[in-house]
Chains A and B, each alone.
Chain A
Amino acid sequence: GAVVSQHPSRVICKSGTSVKIECRSLDFQATTMFWYRQFPKQSLMLMATSNEGSKATYEQGVEKDKFLINHASLTLSTLTVTSAHPEDSSFYICSAPRTGSYNSPLHFGNGTRLTVT
């Protein structure tokens, strides 16, 4: 079964509003979670690394004030798209490493399809 739960799976919002996406690790603790974005027919691009108890690390070109990340507990990270615009419409996916092994595969949430009208 799923080891990472992501919610909502789909969301449609109006331009200018904010949207929160939740990512939960099930039955394991995740001190680190990764947030990716994927545009149609393109690959996943890492947006930021969410760190429990500290500030997120953002990739170059990703606006910190627009994509707010909070990792308040060992099982929950949230991504808030603030003042969303149509160009923010994309597929957002979170992932988390399950075990302490550096080389263990990441487990992904099922993704959130965001459409901004």
Chain B
Amino acid sequence: GQNIDQPTEMTATEGAIVQINCTYQTSGFNGLFWYQQHAGEAPTFLSYNVLDGLEEKGRFSSFLSRSKGYSYLLLKELQMKDSASYLCVLLMDTGRRALTFGSGTRLQVQP
């Protein structure tokens, strides 16, 4: 199987920076996605890492280290609307293109 571990909840302050970590144990995967999901809504795509390193996209950055089985999502200049769940997701190397979701990290941004 593919165990994906994320902190359950995090709290941060508006305007600050927060890092959400994700560790996984898997025999092989094509890439790692980060999705954002607001309560009762569908997930929306944030970022995708295939190679080791940092991918930057505006206020959001994602990092992957395959050798360490580790990824993180970095959110800068936090806004109240960033309060949501953040899902660490693996695209497994099965050819089926199905995603395997972590349990998600619920981020609460406070004023």
Q: A54: CB under 8 A from chain B? A: no
A–B pairs, 30, beta carbons within 8 Å: A6-B42, A32-B97, A34-B97, A34-B99, A36-B101, A42-B103, A43-B87, A43-B101, A43-B103, A43-B104, A44-B43, A44-B99, A44-B101, A46-B99, A46-B100, A49-B98, A57-B96, A93-B43, A103-B30, A103-B31, A103-B48, A103-B50, A106-B45, A106-B97, A107-B45, A108-B44, A109-B42, A110-B41, A111-B40, A111-B41
Q: Which 3 A-B pairs have the closest CB atoms?
A: A108-B42, A105-B45, A43-B101
Annotate A17-31 by CB proximity to B: 1 below 8 A, 0 otherwise.
Answer: 000000000000000
Interface residue count on the B side (C-beta < 8 Å): 22
Query: Which bracket fits the contact residues of A?
Result: 20 to 34
Main secondary structure of the interface of A (DSSP, over half): strand
Cβ distance A62 to chain B, nearest Cβ, rounded Å: 13
Complex interface residues of chain B between 10 and 26 (CB less than 8 A to chain A): none
Can you name 11 extra interface pairs (CB under 8 A) apart from A105-B33, A105-B48, A108-B43? A6-B42, A32-B96, A32-B97, A43-B101, A44-B43, A46-B99, A49-B96, A57-B96, A102-B30, A103-B48, A106-B45
Q: How far is the CB of B1 from chain A (nearest CB, A)?
A: 11
Cβ contact of A91, chosen from B40, B44, B87, cutoff 8 A: B40
Once A43-B87, A43-B104 are accepted as A-B contacts, the answer to whether A106 and B40 lie under 8 Å apart by CB is no
Provide the residues of chain A in CB contact with B42, threshold 8 Å: 6, 93, 108-111
Which residues of the other chain, A, contact B45 by a CB distance below 8 angstroms?
105-107
> Per-residue 0/1 for B46-89: is the Cβ within 8 Å of any A Cβ (1 yes, 0 no)?
00101000000000000000000000000000000000000100
Partner of A113, one of B33, B40, B48, B99: B40
Contact of B97 among A42, A43, A91, A97 (CB under 8 A): A97
Report chain A residues within 8 Å CB of B48.
103, 105
- Residues of B contacting A43 in the complex (Cβ-Cβ under 8 angstroms): 87, 101-104
